[in-house]
Amino acid sequence: MIILITGAGGQLGKDLIRKLSQMHSVYSFNKNELDITNKALVEQTINNISPDIIIHSAAYTSVDDSEINKNLAFEINSIGTGNVLNTARKSGARFIYISSDYVFDGKKTTPYSEEDNTNPQSVYGWSKLLGEMITLQYDNSTVIRTSWLYGHDGRNFVKTMLELGKQKREIRVVHDQIGSPTYTNDLAEFISVLSKSDKRGIFHYSNSGACSWYEFAKAIYKEAGYDADLVLPTTSQAYNALAPRPSYSVLGHNRLLKEKYPLPRHWHEALKEFIQKEKSI
């Protein structure tokens, strides 16, 4: 099978390359190699490869910067997605789009199902939702919503906490945003399995369980052998981030259960493996 991956420079993209290249012919492109906002370039690149599957993980992911660079966020996450999707449609390739828990408003107190109404609170969330809407216009497509990603490549919350822990000083982390951390290695494995099926529509995939960013940070410190008492709670209001975040964005795994896929392992188990691997790098 021939698979094309966009966003190859990102943490998920790199895990996808490692996972899928073991079994398939993989063509991968980072943002410097394929500008997805360039429609003609996208068409030329995809048509030259004629992939069976396109995994579209390229995105503008800076949630706060999206509030300032609104046009850029929509240009990449929405219009760029449309460029890739339209070429996939013409060629008949299957299209898998990686979306976000930030398409929800966070007003629920129980996990969001794939059927729940979306209502983004940020420019980033709206740009990703529009990407979903574009994707779902094509019947040979799948949307995978995920949350709180971290992996071994690039910057993420876990790596930031591991660096701060070395400084042995107090840090404050918000305790009023609840979600599910997700190890990119686990998500890449699920995408690999899903790519072998003909399942369409929307899936939620995150590691099981839920926590606040504060609880997540304390768990990171404990697993790394740092003093977890140095992690102190604060509020979203006090943190004063530019973009609003959903206060609760836990993703339910209704579709996984329905389709009889194994449920993802608990986020704490995944975190433990991640930190052990980071120590060996």
Chain segment 249-263, per-residue pLDDT in tens? 999 999 999 999 999
- Rounded Cα distance, 2 and 244, in Å: 39
- Rounded Cα distance, 39 and 114, in Å: 30
Residue 165 lies in a domain: no
Does the structure show a pLDDT above 80 at 20? yes
Q: What is the mean pLDDT of residues 130-158?
A: 97
Q: What pTM was computed for the model? A: 0.97
Q: Catalytic site residues?
A: 124
Residue 236 lies in a domain: no
Closest CA to 249 of 128, 112, 131, 129: 112
- Rounded Cα distance, 25 and 12, in Å: 18
pLDDT of residue 245: 97
Domains of the chain: total:
1
Residue 163 lies in a domain: no
Domain boundaries, position 258? 2-150+181-208+250-265
Give how far Cα 44 sits from Cα of 55, 126, 230, Å.
17, 29, 52
Residue 90 lies in a domain: yes
Q: Are 120 and 104 in contact (CB under 8 A)?
A: yes
Residue 117 lies in a domain: yes
Residue 91 lies in a domain: yes
Residue 170 lies in a domain: no
Per-residue pLDDT tens over the stretch 154-184: 899 999 999 999 999 999 999 999 999 999 9
- Residue 281 pLDDT level (bands cut at 50, 70, 90): confident
Closest CA to 127 of 210, 183, 71: 71
CATH number of the domain within which 198 lies: 3.40.50.720
Per-residue pLDDT tens over the stretch 181-238: 999 999 999 999 999 999 999 999 999 999 999 999 999 999 999 999 999 999 999 9
- Rounded Cα distance, 61 and 157, in Å: 13
- Rounded Cα distance, 63 and 67, in Å: 7
Residue 79 lies in a domain: yes
